[in-house]
Amino acid sequence: MSDAASLPPEPIPGARLFFSLDPAVTHLNHGSFGTVPVTVQRAQQRLRDETETNPQRFYTVGLTDRIAHARRYLATFLGADPEGTALVGNATAGAAVVLQSLGLESGDEVLSTDHGYGAVAFAVERECRRTGAVPRTVPVPLASSDEEIVEIIRTGLRPGRTKLLIVDQITSPTARLFPVEAIVAVAREFGVPVFVDAAHAPGMLPVEVDRIGADFWVGNLHKWAYAPRGTAVLVVAPRWRARIEPLVVSWEQPTGFPLNVEYQATLDYSGWLAAPVGIFTLRNLGVDRVRAHNAALAAYGQRVVGAALGLGPADLLDPGGPTVSMRLLPLPDGVAATFPDALALRQRVAETLNADIFVTPWNDRGWLRLSAQVYNRAEEYDRLAESLPGLLAA
């Protein structure tokens, strides 16, 4: 590796001023909860103030039009059909809407990989218990190539039985970019509908949802697109839209998708209506510049922390793609190999090192996932590299 390749990216001037994070804490887990820029916080607060000034007017005069306007803006940014896009609370809520709308029956099967998000797996298990369907998981080795991933999934499909395939665009526990467009094409050969869990994609990746061609696609905007928390989009292919049922029935039920999914009476809609300001903020910083910066900084963090943990180049997996802003590191054997131990280590690092990190068990081993965002600096990863080995050895 050349000296230039091992250097961190230059910070984006003034980017840290967009955020109100506690400067005493090192925030290296943007992927879990995101961070709302000050501009978006203020826009959302203005909407809350407007609501409380005259609640009746806010909820009864033009609200659904305002929701539709926000939806159109967000869908256009993602390359999705606004008429097939619904705003939802988060990716897991979108998954629940899809699962309950499928009409699963006894003997049907829902296929996932072992890189899936835990709460989505719970949603699958619940719907299968309710309907008599069967959840099934195929293992995908961490170092698999795109071609190998596609072939593993092809082999796992069971035409006639597999009623839904769930794949992640960027996996949460392993920070791996999956070749979802190729996977969708294979599933289409077998007549199997595909749900793409793209919780991390909006803002991080240059997404064109309609080009992917999935039957269902869901993405959070609060992680990498600077929206308020509780903002996600569910995109549904035309042939499924009439079958989509909301989790909660409202007065917009006769209207059909997407408004019947979005509207829930006195829900706080301020986050959805302020979400376009997050996209504006991202564009103001420079979308491509932000993506390149974050990916390069995450790779730098992986290198320096990995070296401190005694890991070699073969242990530093590249998740694939030049804009993936998360990187994975294996922890020493026996460290954080269970969920309670992983949570305990996160808390210990937070209390001892004033650093927020993401630690999770996967395939009986503990893993550290590092995120990078424009408010981060190389020295934050350097400090973690200096202090983490001693903390793990203590």
Please name which of 176, 180, 197 lies closest in space to residue 327, comparing C-alpha atoms.
Answer: 176
Distance CA 220, CA 264 (A): 19
Q: Which residues sit opposite 369 in a β-bridge?
A: 328, 358
Distance CA 168, CA 179 (A): 9
pLDDT per residue, tens digit, the chain (394 aa), is: 434 457 899 999 999 999 999 999 999 999 999 999 999 999 999 999 999 999 999 999 999 999 999 999 999 999 999 999 999 999 999 999 999 999 999 999 999 999 999 999 999 999 999 999 999 999 999 999 999 999 999 999 999 999 999 999 999 999 999 999 999 999 999 999 999 999 999 999 999 999 999 999 999 999 999 999 999 999 999 999 999 999 999 999 999 999 999 999 999 999 999 999 999 999 999 999 999 999 999 999 999 999 999 999 889 988 877 889 999 999 999 999 999 999 999 999 999 999 999 999 999 999 999 999 999 999 999 999 999 999 999 8
pTM: 0.96
Distance CA 324, CA 296 (A): 9
CA dihedral defined by 311, 314, 319, 321, rounded to 10 degrees? 120
What is the architecture of the domain spanning 40-280?
3-Layer(aba) Sandwich (3.40)
- Strands 162-168 and 134-138: what pairing? unpaired
Distance CA 77, CA 388 (A): 39
Q: For residue 27, give the amino acid letter.
A: H
Q: pLDDT per residue over 94-140, tens digit each?
A: 999 999 999 999 999 999 999 999 999 999 999 999 999 999 999 99
Q: For residue 233, give the amino acid letter.
A: V
Domain ranges of the chain: 3-33+286-393, 40-280
Confirm if 53 and 59 have CB atoms less than 8 A apart.
no
The alpha helices in the chain, defined as continuous H runs, are 3-6, 30-33, 38-53, 55-60, 63-78, 91-101, 118-131, 146-156, 180-189, 209-212, 259-262, 270-285, 287-308, 339-353, 378-393
Give the per-residue pLDDT at 86.
Answer: 98
Task: Tell me the backbone φ, ψ of residue 137, rounded to 5 degrees.
Answer: -120, 135
Give the per-residue pLDDT at 4.
Answer: 45
134-138 β-sheet, strand order: 85-88, 232-236, 216-220, 194-197, 162-168, 109-113, 134-138
Please name which of 124, 64, 70 lies closest in space to residue 233, comparing C-alpha atoms.
Answer: 70
Q: pLDDT per residue over 5-25, tens digit each?
A: 578 999 999 999 999 999 999
In Å, how far are 18, 315, 345, 347 from 332, measured between CA atoms? Answer: 36, 12, 13, 18
First to last CA, the chain: 32
Q: Which residues sit opposite 170 in a β-bridge?
A: 177
Please name which of 167, 166, 169 lies closest in space to residue 204, comparing C-alpha atoms.
Answer: 169
Q: Which residues sit opposite 26 in a β-bridge?
A: 355
Distance CA 123, CA 106 (A): 17
What is the architecture of the domain spanning 3-33+286-393?
Alpha-Beta Complex (3.90)
Which residue in the block uniquely carries the two structure tokens 């077998």? 190
In Å, how far are 124, 276, 277, 333 from 338, measured between CA atoms? Answer: 22, 39, 39, 12
Give the per-residue pLDDT at 317.
Answer: 87
Look up residue 288 and give its two tokens. 């491509």
Please name which of 41, 24, 57, 110 lies closest in space to residue 271, comparing C-alpha atoms.
Answer: 41
φ/ψ bin of 363: left (φ > 0), alpha (ψ from -120 to 50), beta (otherwise): left
